[in-house]
Structure 1
């Protein structure tokens, strides 16, 4: 092997192992088991006055910059959200200075959006960007793609390398997975359709957040594993179905901004050798670690600027609608035929609870906390597998380059919830009789 190949091989091995460690290997520190990236973010969040100053600065800059740069009216969606994001300014002041209407300052309203979503998500995005290159730029995705293509392509209509995104969500979070998806899409390794399928099909909340849902619904003591693995199975089965129906089936097969795509090839034999060759080729042509880190960090902060006001404004407005208006009681009737046909004892309660999932994925767990185990299980699985919600994942997706419209989000959300109800029901009856 030539010297250049040795260098490329070393870069592939060490960079990939470091990336896997940072994003996928849980370690225990001070009694908390999580991935190293999450531990770093946790340490940052403990810096005195960090939460108050970082979120405040980010939201203000995120609102002002589109108008300063003249990009606020670049598209209809951008214009709507640039104007809507102005609502983030009073909300952020309420959160930081604890002033404003008492109803909005309750712990499950503005403080929840700011402390549990805005600051952690917008911290993990730039920090995660620093380590993103180790996952996407030195051959790991190409190496994994050779082995996973026979599984991912026929089932999900996505490249083998998208398996990385799927794993990233469960061990990290949707923000990490979207960071990876957007980076890979911009590099021409996903088509528009593939990026849309991956973003709306694999960007789940983390397993850690699933524990919170399981605790609320009483599954942790005896049914955690059944709940976790059913949720994983249902989420991926629903994704396999939505990839084949409107609107995802109609998305373009073009690559980002018309660039030439990096297409995975079928590899019938010698997979190990081909995978290694692909990884070495990518590693040899990649920029330096410093250059990659600098580029990704800048992209991460740009993404965080876009996310912060959207998360604050849209998240708060969604919770206001859920808590103080009958909107979701009315919307719940669209799911009533599905909850009725599966024969659960509280079909209307489950339908109304799941309607709230579009505002915030955790909300459906609250009204069904005292319901039957079958109802709780169906709602608990569905509120994770639905993936799309306005307090976090949708604003995150809107801040990326992934070409999804508001109409797409609503249709895919409905499809995912309806399918999740129907698919989860047999498991619920099997487990709880």
Structure 2
């Protein structure tokens, strides 16, 4: 359909079509993009001072169910393992359940391992390297946030994806995004949801859009590892841990600068440049309609209303939301716990990261970063979890500039196996573990080269 036909169609039943786009999209804006001071408005202890709506609702759910979530986590992961084992011996006629439970030996192994780990951690029995406060209990501490966030977002994601919000913003900045980052304009909404809410939320949106044909394989991969940024609220946690809240603005602007440079470079080099432009299961690519003439805002509105007109029914949204939540709980939660526990055990109880960090010492010394030998393991351990590097350098004996560099780096590295890495690998986005390792190392080098000069100026 060309632009002229779109304009003609847009004039028909204009007000109802506009409201069908505007009302759900406005709600989507407040839930997923616009941060509000909910903590101050409701004065609830344990709620972030500023958050997006979905994050606020997830925090409320987490607070009200805090005592039950560890048990819920135990039940989910153990049931995932039991049902997946049963799926190997029972013929499942339902396609959704068959795809969910009849998995390969690789995924089955980690579901079973996750069940073993969560049982040990829950009952506090087993090897220290599994049930330690620095390993298994750290991952269990992440579970409430993930379980609550996925439950809330699973039902509300259509507000930003199916009623025209992404089409509206995407059309207006599509040329800018395509030229600089090789992705459609709608990727900006994924970015904002990550930046203001949670990185896993951005990946969920990206994966759903990819399966619907709005992103190609390459575009979804670029967005997942370049735009699923660590949330602004969590960045304040890192800054506070390192004592930089008084310098938070330059601290976070440094992170933004490093992330921007990574987003400009990574899509043009290996491995992202080698990923094909095909679509998920060869479905039709939903390309953004951008005309060379007329107002981009007007065209974006037309595209948004056309998208809203084909939005799914409430019943379909509820059914798909339930399927998404069950899929995430059964497939993803066990992997996050299993991989996260293994990663932290390697970091805390083995010298592996010390051994492999020797080349990093040379790089840090070339960049004239103090405490290079002591800080080098923190540079690589970020692959396991985003919070560990700041913990490793937060003690006495580290120079302020070193703390600043490691803290900013840990946020801009972006690929973490306890969270985003596990979500990407379990999604349909075509990135493998090898790709994530290469991308993590590449982001680390690029980010260091951007962050270090800025840190030397500030300190």
Matched, 1:50 2:59: no
Displacement of 1:74 in angstroms is: 8.1
Q: What does residue range 100-139 of structure 1 map to in structure 2 within 5 Å?
A: 100-115=126-141, 117-139=142-164
Q: Secondary structure at the match of 1:366?
A: helix
Q: Secondary structure at the match of 2:369?
A: coil
Q: For the aligned residues, what is the CA RMSD?
A: 2.0
Structure 2 vs 1, CA of residues 260 and 72 (structure 1 numbering), >3 Å: closer, same or farther? closer
Take 2:85 and 2:278, find their aligned partners in 1: how far apart are those partners?
30
Displacement of 1:190 in angstroms is: 0.4
Match of residue 379, structure 1, among 388, 406, 412 = 406
Match of residue 68, structure 1, among 76, 86, 100 = 86
Q: What does residue range 247-266 of structure 1 map to in structure 2 within 5 Å?
A: 247-266=271-290
- Higher mean C-alpha deviation, range 35-44 or range 411-420: 35-44
Give the equivalent residue in structure 2 for 1:348: 373
Displacement of 1:266 in angstroms is: 3.5
Q: What does residue range 12-411 of structure 1 map to in structure 2 within 5 Å?
A: 12-27=21-36, 28=38, 29-31=42-44, 32-33=48-49, 34-45=51-62, 46-47=64-65, 49-70=67-88, 79-115=105-141, 117-221=142-246, 223-268=247-292, 269-369=294-394, 370=396, 371-411=398-438
Give the equivalent residue in structure 1 for 2:15: 6
Take 1:205 and 1:68, find their aligned partners in 2: how far apart are those partners?
37
Structure 2 vs 1, CA of residues 293 and 72 (structure 1 numbering), >3 Å: closer, same or farther? closer
Displacement of 1:294 in angstroms is: 2.4
Take 1:17 and 1:218, find their aligned partners in 2: how far apart are those partners?
37
Take 2:113 and 2:226, find their aligned partners in 1: how far apart are those partners?
29
Alignment deviations for residues 114-133 of structure 1 (CA, whole Å, 9 cap, x no partner):
12x22321331132011100
Displacement of 1:72 in angstroms is: 8.8
Take 1:191 and 1:380, find their aligned partners in 2: how far apart are those partners?
33
Displacement of 1:48 in angstroms is: 6.1
Q: Secondary structure at the match of 1:211?
A: helix
Take 2:319 and 2:14, find their aligned partners in 1: how far apart are those partners?
25
Kindly tell me the number of residue pairs found equivalent between the two proteins.
Answer: 428
**Where in structure 1 are there 5+ consecutive unaligned residues?**
none
Contact 1:8 1:284 in 2 (8 A): yes
Take 1:68 and 1:148, find their aligned partners in 2: how far apart are those partners?
49
Take 2:276 and 2:199, find their aligned partners in 1: how far apart are those partners?
23
Take 1:74 and 1:339, find their aligned partners in 2: how far apart are those partners?
47
Alignment deviations for residues 221-242 of structure 1 (CA, whole Å, 9 cap, x no partner):
2x11111111122112112211
Q: Secondary structure at the match of 1:160?
A: coil
Q: What does residue range 414-425 of structure 1 map to in structure 2 within 5 Å?
A: 414-425=441-452
Displacement of 1:135 in angstroms is: 0.2
Take 1:48 and 1:384, find their aligned partners in 2: how far apart are those partners?
27
Take 1:289 and 1:377, find their aligned partners in 2: how far apart are those partners?
48
Take 1:79 and 1:346, find their aligned partners in 2: how far apart are those partners?
44
Contact 1:12 1:139 in 2 (8 A): yes
Displacement of 1:368 in angstroms is: 1.8
Contact 1:216 1:366 in 2 (8 A): yes
Alignment deviations for residues 314-367 of structure 1 (CA, whole Å, 9 cap, x no partner):
000101000010000112124234312211122222322111111111111122
Q: Secondary structure at the match of 2:157?
A: helix
Q: Secondary structure at the match of 2:357?
A: helix
Alignment deviations for residues 276-323 of structure 1 (CA, whole Å, 9 cap, x no partner):
110111111122233223213312321222111101110001010000
